[in-house]
Amino acid sequence: MIKFYGVGVSPSVAYGKLKFFDLLTNEPCSSSEAASGSQISELEKYRSAKKQLELELGELERMAYDSGGAEAADIFSFYRLMLDDDDLELSVCDRISNVGMSAEVAVSAAIGELSDIFKSLPNEYMREREADLLALRDRLLKKLGGHGAKIELDSHVIIAAVDLTPADTVELQGHGILGFALEKGSGNSHTAILARGMGIPAVCQLGELPRELDGKTALIDGERGCLIIEPSCELIDDAKRRQAVQSEIRLRNEALRGKPTVSKNGKKIKLLANVGDLNDVKRAVESDAEGVGLLRSEFLYLEHENVPSEDEQLDIYRKTIAMLNGRELIIRTLDIGADKELPYMKLSEERNPALGLRGIRASMAYPDIFTSQMRAILRASAYGDVGIMLPMVSTEDEVEWAITVLDEAKAQLLFDGAHIGRVSLGIMIETPSAALISDKLAKRSDFFSIGTNDLTQYTIAADRENGALSNLNTSLPESVKKLIEMTVSNAKMHGIPVSVCGEAAGEAENAPYFLSLGIDKLSISPLRILDLRHTISELNV
Amino acid sequence: MRKFNYTIKDPNGVHARPAAVIVTEAKKYASNVFIIHGQRSADAKKLFAVMALGAQCGDELIFEFDGSDEASAYDGMIEAVEKARL
């Protein structure tokens, strides 16, 4: 038994085979080769590698957000800013065009020069960021060498490494890794933040780990900050006990897969997922969501230079319907304001975008964009039922306007011989005004969905991103509950279903409240579905 | 031209996240945005340049805005740095 002491940065334990990361991956490309092709093709090579890496970082950012939250995702937006920096771009292009270097050599040299800046910075924390820049370089070199960064790996191993980049960490996650043992690294390192987000044990600063330990059994203990090679039975038993508690939770959740969500007293509720793109839809199906209660359609627009065509939109909606395979789908219409700019939707600068031209208000200012979305959804309904949900409604007129546009689009499509399925129209209740006139709105809509995040922000009149006001933006303050209760009772009176989306919907402690109110559906993060189903199955409501 | 002074409150100084906040905000505007830190200055739209200032907790920075949309750049930057509690 050999024991290495370090600093535990993610508190759980795991027992399994140790695998050295540097024995698994390709060596970074050698950078001494002279340019082989013409300089123009070297420039193209660099640009295309950069583009690929940008996309990959965007994807990693989303994955990190899902498993580790905003703090984890910020790491990748920092990577993207580094990649997009003008100084880096100029320096690489100059080396290729004027010095005649290959793309690989130019990238290494340019980043080497920039990394000197970091070395001279005044504090340790800032100097540590050099590691991020070097990680970015290695990623870029891999892309230039045409190597995917895919890792072939047996699952259920503990990864040992000198240090890991955030991107490595997120990618390894998909391989069922048990834990991380790092020779260097620190509690501040991005890898530590990510490991915590994923609930995987990690220990840093273990000192040099001899490579002959590769393949040996080991115990990684993130609570106590140590790595034990060939641990004693007693230690293994203790770790197994702790591991068992964790896997019991997983097993318990798996047993609920495919089952309806019912409380002990037989109250039923549907658990749907909030999704932001097609990857999320896949995740929603994998995590046994009973449908999608909120498809944020912004991704269709944010990824485009121009307005996405009706056919492009139709294609995405059709794919979503196909992936959901009969489960329900509710699409929120474009919810954009001055805080997220689209090149083709010039919203003038606003002093207070939260109270500005956004959601349905922006749609009314750009009716063509809204009409094209309505047409795409109507055409998609031929492949399965769809619900349309209007964001940021505060008056009846807004709903009337949307109904008119929808009806006209429907009439036109039918006239042209298009096939249309069942389309329902619902309203997001996320302004106090909408809740207060929910009796009137209920007459004009097929369902309500209560957006608790904005409803709370607008009711309490406190910016939810202002940390100084976090004591006000709690989960479901009394005033918000009153508005919710008013909305639910008006919906019941008119016989339309009510769902809740927003963070409060996914919080276990709110489940008894929503259940006893008779909420029909909760739409939450896909990752929380099985946990919440378990919580509800234990409730005496 | 407009300018304001700002004292860094983040215990780790202008490291990755604060630099990212500044650069992301500065890039929204057409105006030139400069940051002056003692004897050094940097283009606020360049990440490496901003980090190279090595501004630490307690250091004072001067933000200078020059251009057609300098008024909104000025307002936007104040809001961004205060919101992020840099």
Angstrom CA distances, A128 to A71, A73, B16, B50, B83, stand at 17, 18, 10, 16, 25
Active site residue A304: no
Inter-chain residue contact B16 with A349, CB threshold 8 Å: no
| pLDDT (0 to 100) of residue A155 | 65
- What band does B40 get if pLDDT is binned at 50, 70 and 90? confident
B12 vs A85, A87, A125: nearest CB? A125
A188 to chain B: nearest residue by CA? B12
Of A172, A155, A122, A141, give the one whose Cα is nearest residue A53: A141
* CA torsion angle A362 A66 A224 A154 (round to 10): -160
- Residue that wins the pLDDT comparison between A196 and A29: A196
Angstrom CA distances, A409 to A169, A359, A367, A405, A415, stand at 48, 20, 12, 6, 10
| pLDDT (0 to 100) of residue B77 | 95
Indicate whether A119 pLDDT > 90. no
A111 to chain B: nearest residue by CA? B48
| pLDDT (0 to 100) of residue A190 | 63
Indicate whether B39 pLDDT > 60. yes
| pLDDT (0 to 100) of residue A29 | 38
**B49-77 average pLDDT score:** 91
Mean pLDDT of chain A: 87
Asked if the C-beta of A85 comes within 8 angstroms of chain B's C-beta atoms, the answer is yes
| pLDDT (0 to 100) of residue A148 | 47
Indicate whether A184 pLDDT > 90. no
Inter-chain residue contact B47 with A465, CB threshold 8 Å: no
| pLDDT (0 to 100) of residue A174 | 62
DSSP A76-138: HHHHHHHHT-HHHHHHHHHHHHTT---HHHHHHHHHHHHHHHHHT-SSHHHHTTHHHHHHHHH
Which residues of B are part of the catalytic machinery? 15
Angstrom CA distances, A15 to A198, A201, A232, stand at 17, 10, 12
Give the pLDDT confidence of A491-507 residue by residue, as tens digits. Answer: 999 999 999 998 899 88
- Which range is least confidently modeled, A24-38, A393-407, A422-436? A24-38
- Which range is least confidently modeled, A133-137, A331-335, A411-415? A133-137
The alpha-helical segments, DSSP class H, found in A338-428 are 360-365, 367-380, 396-415
Of A66, A250, A32, give the one whose Cα is nearest residue A141: A32
Indicate whether A365 pLDDT > 60. yes
Give the pLDDT confidence of A344-356 residue by residue, as tens digits. Answer: 887 778 888 889 9
Inter-chain residue contact B45 with A86, CB threshold 8 Å: yes
- Residue that wins the pLDDT comparison between A470 and A85: A85
| pLDDT (0 to 100) of residue A32 | 38
| pLDDT (0 to 100) of residue B84 | 82
Asked if the C-beta of B39 comes within 8 angstroms of chain A's C-beta atoms, the answer is no
Asked if the C-beta of B13 comes within 8 angstroms of chain A's C-beta atoms, the answer is yes
How far does the CA of residue A73 sit from the closest CA of chain B (Å)? 11
Question: Over the Cα atoms of chain B, what is R_g?
Answer: 11
B55 to chain A: nearest residue by CA? A122
pTM: 0.56
Indicate whether A276 pLDDT > 90. no
Inter-chain residue contact B54 with A114, CB threshold 8 Å: no
| pLDDT (0 to 100) of residue A126 | 79
| pLDDT (0 to 100) of residue A339 | 67
Give the pLDDT confidence of A35-78 residue by residue, as tens digits. Answer: 455 777 888 889 989 998 988 888 888 888 877 777 778 888 88
Q: Quick check: A219 and A239 in contact, CB under 8 A?
A: yes
The single residue of A29, A204, A226, A501 carrying the catalytic annotation is: A501
- Residue that wins the pLDDT comparison between A20 and A518: A518
- Which range is least confidently modeled, A13-17, A151-155, A431-435, B65-69? A151-155
- Which range is least confidently modeled, A163-177, A327-341, A376-390, A445-459? A163-177
Q: Sign of the CA dihedral A207, A213, A214, A216?
A: negative
How far does the CA of residue B24 sit from the closest CA of chain A (Å)? 8
- Residue that wins the pLDDT comparison between A234 and A39: A234
Indicate whether B49 pLDDT > 50. yes
Residue A17 structure tokens:
């085979």
**A201-205 average pLDDT score:** 90
Asked if the C-beta of A120 comes within 8 angstroms of chain B's C-beta atoms, the answer is yes
- What band does A154 get if pLDDT is binned at 50, 70 and 90? low
**A226-235 average pLDDT score:** 90
Inter-chain residue contact B13 with A123, CB threshold 8 Å: yes
Burial of A156 (0-12, 13-18, 19+ CB in 10 A): middle
Mean pLDDT of chain B: 90
Residue A447 gets which letter from DSSP? E
A72 to chain B: nearest residue by CA? B17
* CA torsion angle A514 A519 A524 A529 (round to 10): 80
Look up the ipTM and state it.
0.84
B24 vs A81, A88, A114: nearest CB? A81
| pLDDT (0 to 100) of residue A301 | 87
- Which range is least confidently modeled, A27-36, A79-88, A91-100? A27-36
B47 vs A81, A123, A466: nearest CB? A81
| pLDDT (0 to 100) of residue A304 | 74
A349 vs B17, B47, B72: nearest CB? B72
- What band does A288 get if pLDDT is binned at 50, 70 and 90? very high
Asked if the C-beta of A111 comes within 8 angstroms of chain B's C-beta atoms, the answer is no
- What band does A421 get if pLDDT is binned at 50, 70 and 90? very high
Residue A29 gets which letter from DSSP? P
Inter-chain residue contact A122 with B13, CB threshold 8 Å: yes
Q: Please report residues of A whose CB lies closer than 8 A to that of B49.
A: 87
Indicate whether A191 pLDDT > 80. no
| pLDDT (0 to 100) of residue A28 | 40
| pLDDT (0 to 100) of residue A121 | 83
| pLDDT (0 to 100) of residue A26 | 44
| pLDDT (0 to 100) of residue A227 | 94
Inter-chain residue contact A78 with B17, CB threshold 8 Å: yes
Question: Over the Cα atoms of chain A, what is R_g?
Answer: 26
Give the pLDDT confidence of A20-39 residue by residue, as tens digits. Answer: 887 775 444 333 344 455 77
Inter-chain residue contact B46 with A123, CB threshold 8 Å: no
Inter-chain residue contact A74 with B15, CB threshold 8 Å: no
Give the pLDDT confidence of A210-220 residue by residue, as tens digits. Answer: 989 998 999 99
**A203-232 average pLDDT score:** 90
- What band does A193 get if pLDDT is binned at 50, 70 and 90? low
